[in-house]
Amino acid sequence: MKNNTTIATLGSHSALQILKGAKDEGFRTVLIALYDKADFYRRFPFIDKVIGIAHYSDFPSVEKQLKNHTTVLVPHGSFVAYLGKEGNKKIKVPYFGNKKVLDWEEDRGLQRKWIESADILMPPEFTEKNIQFPVIVKTFGAAGGSGYFFAANKKEFMEKIRSIKSPRYVIQQYVVGVTCYLHYFYSPLINTVELMSIDRRYETNVDGMGRIPSQYQHSMQIDPSYVVVGNSSLVLRESLLPEAYAMGERIVASSKKLIDHRGLIGPFCLETIITPDQKFYAMEISCRIVAGTNLFIEGSPYSWLTYNEPMSTGRRIAREIKFAITKNKLNTVVD
């Protein structure tokens, strides 16, 4: 197939993985990057063109250039973080995925409804009157774990809640277990959910606290924080895998009932904590490629079970777009 389509994305988050995958699948590739990052991205031969912009808010001015070619835009974590939900909805270039999902992803109440309707446990939520400690308090719109706090008792909670600026927050039971971020891909073209890979986030300073012996931790009074700085890979105990796959399938099935008939399309991630009784508790769902997949540009143990070739999530997206074009069904996978 002669591929005249361009795959484009913004220069950050998982752009390298997305465009490497697009090039491996035979697409032309374009990156829109802030001027100060453009030279960094020009190092990579699989990026055909880098378009510089001064601010993310200038993105709409680039759209015309993109539309002159047949372009599919692949969103990642920076799209909502820097263009906002409404900014994403206004994009006119074909956008990989279903934008209706953005409303459900942004609202913690709707997320809970969706996840629980897929028969997946979530940490219980409390009001100030019925709190059971320990808890984690999360403001709405916080990104990457910043703006969260941990409270072990009422006194700590009252002290810390004063410093919270956002009027909207949730109080959640603090689940003690192993964090596990499951990366899925749903193909509406072959109606299959694949488990692409799994990561653990490395969050500072909560993941660094174990390096301080407990007798010193108390006197140092370290406050845990959850700002993500990197990711490491994880494979699951095999007996947990059937449920991991089934959770992904139930999330997709629920999305078709709750959101619209198309539901969730393409990559998504369930952020979970696994407790000693081997139960998954979902903290959140991300409805796009997550940065933890950057560990697996050459594929993961799980993608290797499905593909006898390196298959990153970025490449899987490009393959879906390619398949859709061949079948004349691009509208099935873009919005």
Cα angle at 228 between 223 and 232, to 5 degrees?
115
Q: Given candidates 105, 203, 320, 335, which one binds ligand AMP under the rule CB under 6 A?
A: 203
**201 three-class SS:** strand
Least Å distance, CB 44 to ligand AMP, is 17
Among left, alpha and beta (phi > 0; psi -120 to 50; other), residue 221 is: left
Give the residue, chosen from 5, 9, 12, 300, that forms a contact with ligand AMP under the rule CB under 6 A.
12
Nearest-angstrom CA–CA distance, 217 and 208: 11
Residues within window 256-295 making contact with ligand AMP, judged by CB under 6 A: 271, 273, 283-284, 291-292
**Based on CB atoms, which residue is closest to ligand AMP, 88 or 231?**
231
Helix-helix angle 241-258:108-117, to 10 degrees: 120
Q: How large is the C-alpha radius of gyration of the chain?
A: 21
Alpha helices in 43-153 (DSSP H): 59-68, 77-78, 84-90, 101-106, 108-117
Least distance in angstroms from the C-beta of 173 to ligand AMP: 6
Q: How far is the CB of 166 from ligand AMP (least distance, A)?
A: 14
- Give the list of residues 6+ apart from residue 190 with CB closer than 8 angstroms, or none: none
Least distance in angstroms from the C-beta of 106 to ligand AMP: 13
Q: Are 178 and 199 in contact (CB under 8 A)?
A: no
For position 78 contacting ligand AMP by CB under 6 A, the verdict is yes
145 binds ligand AMP (CB under 6 A): yes
- Looking only at residues 116 through 135 of this chain, which bind ligand AMP when binding is defined by CB under 6 A? 123
- What's the chain's length in residues? 335
Binding status of residue 75 toward ligand AMP by CB under 6 A: no
Among 67, 128, 143, 153, binds ligand AMP (CB under 6 A): 143
Interface with ligand AMP includes 6 (CB under 6 A)? no
Out of 175, 196, 265, 270, the residue judged to bind ligand AMP by CB under 6 A: 175
CB 185 within 8 A of CB 194: yes
Size of the site for ligand AMP (CB under 6 A): 28
Alpha-carbon distance of 302 to 197, in angstroms, equals: 6
Which of 62, 110, 131, 228: binder of ligand AMP (CB under 6 A)?
228
Query: Could you list the residues that contact ligand AMP (CB under 6 A)?
Result: 12-13, 77-78, 81, 123, 136, 143-145, 148, 172-175, 179, 201, 203, 226, 228, 230-231, 271, 273, 283-284, 291-292
